[in-house]
């Protein structure tokens, strides 16, 4: 969007690829994010929510996949992280409600709630700051 808004790329040229440096920058950002932050997500999704046995993991993954297929067929945009987290909590709560660490689960939900407004606030602050500077 930045390239289009600054005139460096055309919005109507659907066949044109973005410049190579943009593609490689995205690859690098995704790779570094996975390298430095991916393990935290795996640690939180795994043993910090509930203890999963192999059959429970299979059920959570199957339930999450079915939810994603159904949502896609209905044209509903959903997050894969939301669906798999819900499935893991569901598998843990089927055993017993106390098997789920509800503090961790509620922390994840609060992180989802703040995901949109906090970056919007930070972007707004930087936008107004850039207007003052430039």
pLDDT tens readout for residues 52-105:
889 998 999 999 999 999 999 999 988 888 898 889 999 999 988 888 999 988
What SS3 state is found at 18? Answer: coil
Percent of the chain with pLDDT over 90: 34
Global confidence as pTM? 0.63
Residue 88 contacts residue 42 (beta carbons within 8 Å): no
pLDDT for residue 26 is more than 60? yes
Tell me the pLDDT band of 126, cut-offs 50, 70 and 90: very high
């Amino acid at each position: 969007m930045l390239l289009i808004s600054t005139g460096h790329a055309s919005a109507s040229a659907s066949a044109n690829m973005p410049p190579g440096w943009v593609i490689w920058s995205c690859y690098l950002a995704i790779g570094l994010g996975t390298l430095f932050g991916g393990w935290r997500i795996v640690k939180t999704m795994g043993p910090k929510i509930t203890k999963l046995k192999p059959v429970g993991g299979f059920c959570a993954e199957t339930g999450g996949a079915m939810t994603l297929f159904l949502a896609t067929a209905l044209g509903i945009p959903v997050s894969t992280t939301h669906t798999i987290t819900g499935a893991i909590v569901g598998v843990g709560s089927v055993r017993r409600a106390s098997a789920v660490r509800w503090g961790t689960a509620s922390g994840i939900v609060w992180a989802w709630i703040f995901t949109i407004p906090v970056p919007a606030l930070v972007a707004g602050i930087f936008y107004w700051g850039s207007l003052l500077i430039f």
